[in-house]
């Protein structure tokens, strides 16, 4: 199976530029895995964790939204924010959870409440996922 060239770029820096056996990405519709010779694809990203398998070892990165472009040349991630897992603080999600709770409390229509609930659930799920990825206990 062919490898895939992966680049993860944030506004601050080029975080990754290497060849991986596989890369799992948090797409807007759910996580997907890119292998060599993947069909072309472009999608938005939701906040989550990218796992790149390089040389048999997993490298994990947090991304806060952005875009993923799979092309014959490889996978390019243009992230709003990207950090290696070692630099990621799971408690940084708490502010996003609080903001989503405020949005839900302020919602007045069914549509607004539904959207706010979906956003709140997504941040809470990411908090649980972050605890698992970081190897900390979930309470």
| DSSP-based helix, strand, coil % in the chain, nearest 5 | 30, 40, 25
Mean pLDDT of 112-137: 83
pLDDT band at 135 (very low <50, low <70, confident <90, very high): low
Ranges of beta strands (E only) in the chain are: 4-9, 14-20, 22-27, 30-34, 41-45, 48-54, 57-63, 66-71, 74-79, 82-84
- Give yes or no: residues 25 and 53 share one domain: yes
- Give yes or no: residues 64 and 130 share one domain: no
- Give yes or no: residues 54 and 94 share one domain: no
- Give yes or no: residues 15 and 55 share one domain: yes
For 34-53, how does the pLDDT look when each residue is reduced to its tens digit (9 = 90+)? 998 889 999 999 999 999 99
- Give yes or no: residues 10 and 78 share one domain: yes
For 72-116, how does the pLDDT look when each residue is reduced to its tens digit (9 = 90+)? 999 999 999 999 988 988 888 999 999 999 999 999 999 999 999
- Give yes or no: residues 115 and 77 share one domain: no
Q: How many residues does the chain have?
A: 139
Q: What percent of the chain has pLDDT over 70?
A: 95
Across the chain, mean pLDDT equals 90
- Give yes or no: residues 69 and 80 share one domain: yes
């Amino acid at each position: 199976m062919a490898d895939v060239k992966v680049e993860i770029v944030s506004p601050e820096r080029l975080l990754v530029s290497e060849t991986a056996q596989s890369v799992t990405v948090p797409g807007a519709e759910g996580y997907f895995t890119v292998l060599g010779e993947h069909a072309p694809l472009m999608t938005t990203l939701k906040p989550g964790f990218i796992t790149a398998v390089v040389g048999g070892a997993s490298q994990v990165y947090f991304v806060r939204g952005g875009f993923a472009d799979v092309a014959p040349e490889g996978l390019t991630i243009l992230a709003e924010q990207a950090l290696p897992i070692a630099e990621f603080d799971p408690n940084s999600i708490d502010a996003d959870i609080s903001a989503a709770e405020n949005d839900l409390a302020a919602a007045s229509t069914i549509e607004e409440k539904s959207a706010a609930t979906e956003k709140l659930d997504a941040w809470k799920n990411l908090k649980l996922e972050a605890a698992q990825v970081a190897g900390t206990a979930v309470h």
